[in-house]
Structure 1
Amino acid sequence: MPISRAAAQATLRLGAVALAGALLAACGSGSSGSSKSSADGGKVTLTVDLFGTFGFKEAGLYAEYEKAHPHITIKESSTENEADYWKALQTRLAGGGGLADVQGIEVGRIASVTQQQADKFQDLNSFGAASLKNDYSAAKWAAATTTDGRTLGLGTDVGPEAICYRTDLFEKAGLPTDRDELAKKWATWDGYLELGKQYQAEADSKSHWMDSVGSLYSLMMGQQKERYYDASGKLVYQDNQAVKTAWDTSVKAAQDGLSAKLAQWTPAWNQAFSSGSFATIGCPAWMLGYIKGQAGDGGAGTWDVAPLPGGVAGNWGGSYLAVPKGASHAKEAYELIKWLTAAPQQAKLFEKQGSFPSNLGAIKEVEDVKDAYFSNAPIGEIFGKAAESSPVQVLGVHDNDVNTQITNALGEVERKGTSSATAWGHAEKGVRNAVG
């Protein structure tokens, strides 16, 4: 997702998609997990509620599933901003109605689901999910499993990170465009920002090095095993040196004028993918599909992908598919998510949309994939290596909330000129309000 793909995730999952409330209220108001076929000859309409661009519809997977299961019709609703999606989902879970048969869960929310909301979701093991455990990495499976062994979601993608960049804008600014050469020049974050200063000195005044410093911050934090919580579940973001380093680096980038000052997941940000307002963007694998959707056919061949600065790969986003206890068609919903997350479908999704698989069989299958849209970049190799070396992150129940408050505060720095100290104070206040 994503940036679930939250943001992608998000929404890619980094990172994000808008609830069709009336549809969900009409189709997903069951109060139990029992499976109910409609009166129309046993036909079933499965509702799927997501955020960001998961890519199932775009890759033709829904159509393929419906063809193989003529009694099934799939209707997807989506919310572009994962935070808006999560807020609406909490309202529906609290009321017990209006839920879809399938709900997407961003990785930054999965600890909240397993630790605080397990009673709101189906234990997928009751449908046979335990047999799928070895299809995933131990960390991906464990994150969606409660301490008493209930499995509450099946993994879709993960978010290994890279940098996506506009080769045409680089050429105009006199910068190299070869991905291997760039990887050497921005082997460190200082190198990445120094190249940004060179770009800024030569580029059109309406074009900037990066889309937002919030994106830069999220990339850097994706490289950390421990971010906002420690392994005991204690909130530690205020004392984490990695958070301070990412914050200070992002503030400096804003002060140096390297950002286009675009809030992610907004209409202006979406338009900027094709307008040339920024030359580079933090690019978890799921962002590839988002770029294609926003830049369109005209962007083909103007984008490329290079490994992440900083000397270590990172992860930003990734998602799960879950079945709430309010689902009208729980058994059919499980069969759908089992199929969507199986190796052949995850491999196809990566080839068409860029969502990097969490299914181990699919990861092996896509290692040689290249993407013509991104200048024939070896995305299977780039993201595969990133996934192998990404840290297994410690996730807390309010992981996404903390990240959102910090990136919102960074937005104040770049768009309003708020001082670093004042903005950080706003972030701390926001975290206190969100966490309670």
Structure 2
Amino acid sequence: MPLARAARTAVAVVLGGALLAACGSGPSSSDGAGGKVTLTVDLFGSFGYQEAGLYAEYEKLHPGVRIKQTDTEDEQDYWKSLQTRLAGGGGLADVQAVEVGRIASVTQQQADKFEDLKKYGADGLKNQFAEAKWSAATTKDGRVVGLGTDVGPEAMCYRTDLLREAGLPTDRDVLARKWATWDGYLALGKQYKAKAPAKSAWLDSVGSLFTIMIGQEKERYYDASGALVYEDNPAVKAAWDASVRAAGDGLSAKLDQWSPQWNQAFSSGSFATLPCPAWMLGYIKGQAGEAGKGKWDIAKLPGGAGNWGGSYLTVPRAAKHKKEAYQLIQWLTAPEQQAKLFRKQGNFPSATGAIAAVADATDPYFSGAPIGKIFGEAAKAAPVQVLGVHDKNVADQITNALSEVERKGTSSEEAWSHAKKGVENATG
């Protein structure tokens, strides 16, 4: 969370609640209001901490601590704002989230802007996380700049009512067999289009199709040496070509992800399927609301397992309450809290101890889908991805170009040239 993730501008949510006496020592510094500390947490998308009740639980366990969250819908907007504040040194929260596609930029170029969490005892947490998750937030000289929240194992979310109306099967196992490959998925999309309900497309956007497909690859935009290789990577070309084909066949609703129109489409039925990392479950619930309960289901992803997204919580050097901020992120990313978050919101754990604990999880909102099994198997099979300094920037430029293909009818060749120019500008 990611990704993830509903106004596009930051909305402050003050999370109060009764501060009940409990175990644990009080904070070491205060805001001067009766010894209370207000910890500021700045996120993007839908991390789900508030919705799962974790902030309220933490406040009860730590009398004198209050948590104030700000949340920006679009990660690109969030990152631009964070870069401005890091450059100026002001306006930073005690806790700042970083998307996995940005973490290499932090470790390689901005580590001096963030606290080394080892000074607060983070070394003792290493065995709690998957090796790839931990190492991605560790600099070459051994500094730890963030603690992992979730990972993004991928599946396919779909609307059973819309598929039924189009005469297609709705059983998750049957669909998994029919769309075992991406060619099978797109062929089924053509069948859906022929009998689809009015104003309903097969998928939300070809950008999301590209993103989920490329998430199945170990090497995408960079190789292990840190060199940009996206132009010559056959996996990038295959995902691009499939996305262009989907646009040409009219299978997309042409909705830019995270836009207001996309948000509204969750309740209007504008698309029948949505390539779906685990963290997307909470987002769907938030946008579709109670009216969507039981209309959605989840099946295995075409083409094998992959990963899209996952995030980190960091403490900036300019944070006001560094020690208390670390104590909060340590608690939020602990296995017990990660397991609770998955059961309530769908964010799949990066803490190894939590993965076994959620293996039997099901979700009534998604027609009782065995989310622990589906996403657990995907997480085990997903490749450990090579992350580059500008990983997210490259991905954004490519999906922006694909948006031109589906919305403006731009040719594949011209759109690819725009993507390359955008990458050149973004990577310097």
Q: TM-score, normalised by structure 1?
A: 0.94
The gaps in structure 2 that reach 5 residues or longer are: 15-26
Residue 199 (structure 2) pairs with residue 206 (structure 1): yes
1:41 shift after superposition: 2.4
Residue 340 (structure 2) pairs with residue 336 (structure 1): no
Give the alignment of 1:6-21 within 5 angstroms: 8=5, 18-19=9-10
Q: 2:318 aligns with which of 314, 326, 336?
A: 326
Q: Which residue of 1 aligns with 2:410?
A: 418
1:173 shift after superposition: 0.4
User: 2:13 touches 2:68 (CA, 8 Å); kept in 1?
Assistant: no
Counterpart secondary structure, 2:309: strand
Counterpart secondary structure, 2:368: coil
> What do you get for the CA RMSD once the two structures are aligned?
1.5
Q: Which residue of 1 aligns with 2:18?
A: none
CA distance in 1, matches of 2:416, 2:294: 40
1:68 shift after superposition: 1.0
User: 2:41 touches 2:67 (CA, 8 Å); kept in 1?
Assistant: yes
Counterpart secondary structure, 2:51: coil
CA distance in 2, matches of 1:210, 1:323: 38
Q: Which residue of 1 aligns with 2:40?
A: 47
CA distance in 2, matches of 1:40, 1:176: 60
Counterpart secondary structure, 1:283: strand
Counterpart residue identity of residue 127, structure 1: Y
CA distance in 2, matches of 1:200, 1:237: 32
CA distance in 1, matches of 2:68, 2:2: 18
CA distance in 2, matches of 1:22, 1:350: 22
Counterpart residue identity of residue 190, structure 2: K
Q: Which residue of 2 aligns with 1:382?
A: 374
Give the alignment of 1:37-436 within 5 angstroms: 37-310=30-303, 312-436=304-428
Counterpart secondary structure, 2:190: helix
Q: TM-score, normalised by structure 2?
A: 0.95
Q: Which residue of 2 aligns with 1:31?
A: none
CA distance in 2, matches of 1:35, 1:325: 17
1:22 shift after superposition: 13
User: 2:12 touches 2:68 (CA, 8 Å); kept in 1?
Assistant: no
CA distance in 1, matches of 2:178, 2:109: 45
Counterpart residue identity of residue 291, structure 1: I
Percent identity over paired residues: 72
CA distance in 2, matches of 1:22, 1:434: 32
CA distance in 1, matches of 2:408, 2:163: 28
1:42 shift after superposition: 1.7
CA distance in 1, matches of 2:421, 2:29: 46
CA distance in 2, matches of 1:234, 1:360: 31
User: 2:215 touches 2:308 (CA, 8 Å); kept in 1?
Assistant: yes
Counterpart residue identity of residue 239, structure 1: D
The gaps in structure 1 that reach 5 residues or longer are: 24-33
